[in-house]
A and B are shown apart, each in its own frame.
Chain A
Amino acid sequence: MHLVHPATLAVLLFCVGLYGVLARRNTVLVLMSVELMLAAVSLNLVAFDVWLADELHSGQVFTLFLIALAAAEIGIGLAIVLLVYRRRGTVALDRLRALRDGPGAAEATGGTDGAEQPTANDAARGQETTTP
């Protein structure tokens, strides 16, 4: 088999995942796109391992590790997403701006407990101006 076929498929799959990470608004959908990118990396590892006919099977063993890491990542990620949803009532990425820095940080109100946000941001900004 031509090595270009799996390598090109992996590249295209990675770029589809990249588009999903950048364009999606729902956090769970972003996690799905990350899974697509990880799967593309796995395909690359397997293809190059088979091409090189590695005695230690490094690529395939790394793919196994990668699958386990993806499972761990999705578990932790979904726990965080569920916690954010319970606290803020939303999983839209562009509405979670409580830790936003720079201009416009004061107007960032993240969901339900927006009342205490501006004061916290003002305090942080005050520290920022005094420390340097």
Chain B
Amino acid sequence: MPKLHANLPPCYDLARQLSAYLDGELPADLCHDLEAHLGGCPDCRVVLDTLGRTVQIVHALSDTPVSLPADVEARLLSRLTGA
């Protein structure tokens, strides 16, 4: 499959700004340009949406419970309590 946007410089330039846009770190003038482009470019809207959901998924790793292997926990407690 050919690369998306291969011949579309506006998308190429603006695609670099999507991450900063999601973080609210994009200067106002670039924000305006990006939003104007997004209004007419369904592909970029998909990329923005899916990039935002990717970031949410990565964020969720920070507080999603995981199980600690029992032997790892036992060795840690042993080190800490001197048992």
Do A and B make up one complex? Answer: no
Name A residues whose Cβ lies closer than 8 Å to a Cβ of B.
Answer: none
